[in-house]
Structures are given as C-alpha cells and as structure tokens.
Amino acid sequence: MKKEKSLELCTKCGTCLSVCPSYKVFLSEAFSPRGRNFLLSQKRNHPSFNFCLFCERCKEVCPHNLSFPEFYFRSPDLKTPLLAKSLSKVLDPWLELGKAKFLRELPPKGDLLLYPSCGMFFFYNLALTRFLKFAKKEKISFGMPKDLTCCGAPFLSWNLREEVIQRALLNLQIFEKTSQPILMFCATCLWIFQKVYPLLFENTEYYERFLNLAQRIKSAYFFLISEFKEIASSFPKEKTIFHLPCHLTEEFNLVNTKLEVKNFCCGSAKGFLWLEGFQERYKKFWFGNLSSSLMLATFCTGCYLTFKFLIKEPPKIGHWLEVLL
C-alpha cells in the first residue's frame, strides 16, 4: 500500500504561486495551491477548488513534491454542484453515438488495443483514420472492446468521485480480460488511467490491479516514435508548433527535431469555467506563444477544444498524429 503525503508538509513558501493558472488570473491566496491546501486542511470547501485545472504545475516546483489535485481527489466529502449530477445523462448517449461508427470498423480484438477518447470520435477523427491506415500498411491489427466507457475526466472536474470510480472499475474489468498493450490518443485519458485511477483506489484491493493496468498503457504517439523512428524524419515544412499538454505522462522526445515545442497550460476545458469566462481571461498568458505559426498541434481533447474556441485561424488546430502521419 502507498503511504499518503500530508497537507501538513506544505510550508506555505509560495513557490507554487508563479506557476498556478488560476492564481495568475485571480491574484488571490484562496486561488493558489498553498491557499487551497490550507483551506482543505481546515476541512473548508471553497469555490477556488473548482478553478483548479489539475495541471499539477504546483507539484513540479514544490520542495516537498506536493500536489493539491492529489489531496482534492482524496476528499470525498467535498460538495458537488447540483447541475453536475445530470452530467452522465448527457455525456453517455453522446459517447455511444460517437463509438458506433468506429465499432463497425474495428474488431474487439487485435495485436494492440485502442482506447477511444471523446475527442477522437468527434473532433480529430482524422488522426485515428491516418493512424489506422498507417497500421494497416505495417500489417498491425488493432481492436477496440465495445463496452469501454469514458475515462471519467469530465466527472472528475465536478468532483463526482463515484462516477469516476464506477467507470474505472468497468474499464478495469474489460481490460483485465486481455493482455495486449493499450494505446491512447489523449493525454488526459492517459493521465486518468496511469495516475488518477491508482490514486482513487489507494489502500484498497484494487490498487495493484490499477497499477498493472497503467503499465500496459502508452500513447499512440509514443508507440509510433518508439517503433517507427523514421517517422520523425518526414515532418511537414509548414510552421508547426507542438503543444505539450499538462497531463502528458510520457517523455516528449521531439525537442531535438525541426518541430517547435511549447509547454504551457491552455486554461482547461472545464464547462463551468467557460460560463465564468476563465479561459478567455487566461488566454493572455499563452497567446504570445503562437506568433507566426500555421498549425498548433496538441495531444489532448481539452486543450484542443480550448484552442478551437479561443483562436481564429491561423494557426489551424490539430492533433499530433495529423502532423506526424
């Protein structure tokens, strides 16, 4: 069993303030990682918790490697907005509609398994189409189990822990019937499976099982670069920026190629934050990164949506695999 870190380790040094997206916008201690840590230690629920983007940039700079999102995920008593209770009634039929087309094209089993993200179905399906065309040429077969469900990221945004837990257990049950590696097309799905699932099931009988599942998962990008290194030598000539999503849990090794890489937080695609105008206010902190680019490619559905809503072309918004393949 993994030993949990304590909120008491936070020394309130303030190193996290300069990297926290919501603190940059609100300039209020309650919206900083150390402020949230304090409020949570006092068992107080605060609106600022909903503005945490789970980017974990606070953890990257913290002397004690503390992450407010980790403490947040472990707090089942936090209140959930009533509006969020009906989220599954809207999301699940929408995802089933998206899955239907690809389930007709993909068998349930193959040399490798694909985990579908909602973005793959509705926003960047060209990335999947090109990926499958490439795989067919290389004589690699892919399967997609038909009963897979959403990773739970939208529900995590609203602190709907039970919804995330139910989906985690369903995905675990399905994938434990197989042994093949699992490829993903979204950094957030990758992060949910590799980090959040084990975190939610610490000190339970499922913990080791989720760790084992996490070891089978890699991104479709990582698979391509590790198995077909020649792909990196055939990048397009146009000015392209590769955006590194906060939730990418793999090493990104295109830095030494001719592609330009930018590492910044987009401001999240949490639905209720759009109602608050947060993304539009946060845009000024990253927009300068995109000067003179013709394409901005990312590997995350949330980032993709944020850029699509906030940026007028150019740059064109795409998925990494739309550039690589």
pLDDT beyond 80 at 215: yes
| Model confidence pLDDT, tens digit, residues 285-296 | 999 888 778 899
Query: What value does the mean pLDDT take over residues 110-114?
Result: 92
pLDDT-derived band at 235 (thresholds 50, 70, 90) equals: low
pTM exceeds 0.95: no
pLDDT of residue 1: 47
Which tokens is 11 given?
A: 């020394």
Q: How far apart are CA 158 and CA 270, in angstroms?
A: 9
pLDDT beyond 60 at 201: yes
Instruction: Identify whether the C-beta of residue 304 lies closer than 8 Å to the C-beta of residue 279.
Output: no
Give the closest residue to 319 by CA, choosing from 122, 179, 133, 158. Answer: 122
pLDDT beyond 90 at 113: yes
pLDDT of residue 105: 73
Average pLDDT across the chain, whole number:
87
pLDDT beyond 60 at 237: no
Give the closest residue to 321 by CA, choosing from 124, 115, 116. Answer: 124
| Model confidence pLDDT, tens digit, residues 166-198 | 999 999 999 999 999 999 999 999 999 999 999
| % of the chain exceeding 70 in pLDDT | 90
| Model confidence pLDDT, tens digit, residues 140-156 | 999 998 888 889 998 88
- Classified as helix, coil or strand, 63 is coil
Tell me how many degrees the CA angle 170-143-119 measures, rounded to the nearest 5.
70
Domains and CATH numbers, the chain: 11-73 (no CATH), 86-221 (3.40.50), 229-324 (3.40.50)
pLDDT beyond 50 at 209: yes
The backbone torsions φ and ψ at residue 316, rounded to the nearest 5 degrees and listed phi first, read -75, 140
Query: What value does the mean pLDDT take over residues 86-97?
Result: 72
CA 86 to chain centre: 22
Say which residue, 72 or 233, is predicted with more confidence. Answer: 72
Least confident of 88-92, 261-265, 296-300, 310-314: 88-92
Query: What value does the mean pLDDT take over residues 4-13?
Result: 86
pLDDT-derived band at 210 (thresholds 50, 70, 90) equals: very high
pLDDT of residue 85: 64
